[in-house]
Amino acid sequence: MLQLRKKTQNRRIGLSKLREGPVSVLQMDLFDPPPLQKFSLSRVFPTPTPTWKPKCDTTERRLAFVGRVLEDFSHQWRHVLRSGYNDSTFRRLARAILSIATLDFRVKEVAFSRAGVHGSLVWLNDLPEWEPFVDRVIHFDRVSVVLCQHLTLSMAAIRKDLGPRRLRLRQRDSSRSPSETACDRVTYVVLSVREVFLYKTSVSGELPSLYTEPEPLLNGTNLPSKRALEYLLMAAPLESVVSPIHKLPLEVQNMILENVSLGPLESARIGCLLAFGSAFQWKSNGREITRQEVLVNKHSAFPVESEIWFGDRLSGLVYR
């Protein structure tokens, strides 16, 4: 069965029809895809329903930029995300997702002439080659991210991380003020690549634990939910505090960003990190910025190519 899935419609046709001769899209049958299956946390937590609906302080600027890059990453690596993968590949995918969410990637800009590269940027037999995460729990300023391909095993990783925290807590003075008790909270972002949810608990055990419903992230077919992006962005650094440069007119801020790099993608990344300038519209000089499937011959007069790299490895994402 050959399927065509788009935002506006889904079509399919049997392979026997293709053997009879060429077919057009209109000859394919319309169909409704099955509803996305969500993982239930009933086997992990005793309470039957999620007990926490957090308010995520995420700006639309970061949400739009990170969401678009993650969607393109999902498309490029859809052959991996749709299938089963081992723990090594899972850790590489998790690193890519968190690198994009925290804007911790390198943009390599190509402005000179370059010969094209044969074949697609990412082909059917390609696997991620960048370095994987080594640790199971990654600590950020506001949250800790638990990498767990199977969500049923997430609590074991959380308990293991809470052990040293509780030991350090016992070594403190037992008399703590109410404000110190409030700081006793720790929030985990549990990431399985396909889904993500939040878990908040108390290191001392004095306060009840809370968790959210799992949200769909990257499965190679569906787009990540807005709530999933908000959970991921909790790992991102806080936006820059207001400084004198933020008080400049928006037009002047945009002019500054235009001169921090050759291409628009790196300027957009810096703008998201500093909460500076206008939201990125994925346009440059009136031209749409698009994801490249192949690296064709590039003339110096062509627009700058922006390649996203994780360490010393290309992510498979190139924009022009």
> Residue 182's pLDDT is what?
47
Both tokens of 81, joined, read: 């995300």
Rg over CA atoms, the chain: 23
Both tokens of 45, joined, read: 């937590």
In the chain, DSSP assigns E strands to 2-5, 10-13, 29-30, 106-110, 137-139, 144-147, 185-191, 195-202, 210-211, 215-216, 283-284, 287-288, 305-310, 313-319
Count other Cβ atoms within 10 Å, centred on residue 211. 21
Tokens 């500093």 map to which residue? 274
CA 206 from centroid of its chain's CA atoms: 33
CA dihedral 36, 211, 151, 188 (to 10 degrees): 120
Question: In terms of C-beta density within 10 A (0-12 exposed, 13-18 middle, 19 or more buried), how is residue 259 classed?
Answer: exposed
CA dihedral 242, 244, 246, 249 (to 10 degrees): 150
Both tokens of 139, joined, read: 């600590």
CB 154 within 8 A of CB 44: yes
Pairing of strands 195-202, 215-216: antiparallel
Question: Running along the chain, 320 residues long, what does each successive block of 10 average in pLDDT?
Answer: 78 87 89 68 69 83 94 95 94 98 94 75 92 95 93 90 82 55 79 94 84 91 91 86 84 91 93 89 90 80 89 94
Q: How far apart are CA 213 and CA 219, in angstroms?
A: 17
DSSP string, 36-55: PPPPPGGGT-SSSS------
Pairing of strands 144-147, 185-191: parallel
Q: How far apart are CA 60 and CA 239, in angstroms?
A: 12
